Amino acid sequence: MSMAESKWSEKMSGAKDPLAKSDESFPPVLAPTLEVINQLVNEGLINAYVIGGSMAILYYSEPFATKDLHLFVQLPQETLLLDLGPIWRRLQELGHKLSGIGVIINGVPVEFLATDNSLIKESFETAMAVEIEGVTTKVFQLE
């Protein structure tokens, strides 16, 4: 595990609450959500995804408050119109709730951002594979 990955794990899952009793730690926050997203990849609804936005910045910086998880996704569709409907329907079947422009997955607001932009495609190719709370995922490189 690299130093950056170690910092991420410490910040996101292993850090102790200074106000809690010494033997209590925070439960996993992102792992249950990322497991659902990985299930969507395994089911073929998403070709690939990368964490972007504030959560990606957290990988490289000190912790700060953020409200949602931005996922840039590559879809299996080959049409001009990018349709997130199949993803949203499947998540509803799995018991997750639509909320505003995203979905609440295991308590985490997730916004799916589908794009066919060449810059984003390049960012997918250079995204860094990391492990968050025991779940494999990818984070955009800091550029």
Give the tens place of pLDDT for each residue, 69-118. 999 998 887 777 788 899 999 999 999 999 988 999 999 999 998 877 66
Q: The whole model's pTM is what?
A: 0.69
pLDDT at position 143:
66
Predicted confidence (pLDDT) at residue 6 exceeds the cutoff of 60? no
CB 58 within 8 A of CB 64: yes
Predicted confidence (pLDDT) at residue 22 exceeds the cutoff of 90? no
Cα distance between residue 74 and residue 28, in whole Å = 26
Q: Mean pLDDT over residues 117-136, rounded?
A: 84
Q: In this structure, what DSSP letter does residue 6 have?
A: H
Over residues 25-79, the pLDDT tens digits come to: 344 688 999 999 999 999 999 999 998 888 887 767 776 677 789 999 988 877 7
DSSP string computed for 57-122 = HHHHS-------EEEEEE-S--SSS---HHHHHHHHHTT-EEETTEEEETTEEEEEEE---HHHHH
